[in-house]
């Protein structure tokens, strides 16, 4: 575990930079993580996906897959890839303050 500064506070992250405690997440942390991931600015459309992922995590104990996001008409797959390029499930989960999704490399 490593400690780093994000949005003016010290946070613990794992070896890949995922927050180790999803409960400390807030929109300022999300914006700071997004910026590190090359997503700036973080738009309302990004936040719609991120907040849905957090809700699913709270209800089910795991972040939803790309397939589930698409199936529930949260965001079409093509748009998801444009919002979170280079691995949408992994990037969106990281920005949402969640752990690395199962099945992600």
Q: Is residue 84 within 8 Å of 91, Cβ to Cβ?
A: yes
Distance CA 25, CA 69 (A): 21
Known active-site residue 104:
yes
Provide the token pair at 82. Answer: 């444009």
From the candidates 12, 95, 104, 105, which is the catalytic residue?
A: 104
Residues 6+ apart with CB under 8 A from 77: 66, 69, 70
Distance CA 47, CA 30 (A): 9
Just list the catalytic residues.
Answer: 104
């Amino acid at each position: 575990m490593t400690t780093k500064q994000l949005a003016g506070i010290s946070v613990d992250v794992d070896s890949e930079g995922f927050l180790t405690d999803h409960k400390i997440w807030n929109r300022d942390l999300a914006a700071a993580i997004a910026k590190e991931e090359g997503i700036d600015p973080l738009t309302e459309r990004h936040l719609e996906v991120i907040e849905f992922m957090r809700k699913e995590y709270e209800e089910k104990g795991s972040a939803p897959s790309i397939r589930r996001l698409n199936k529930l008409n949260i965001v079409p797959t093509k748009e998801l890839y444009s919002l979170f390029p280079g691995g949408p499930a992994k990037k969106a989960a990281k920005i949402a303050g969640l752990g690395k999704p199962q099945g992600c490399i």
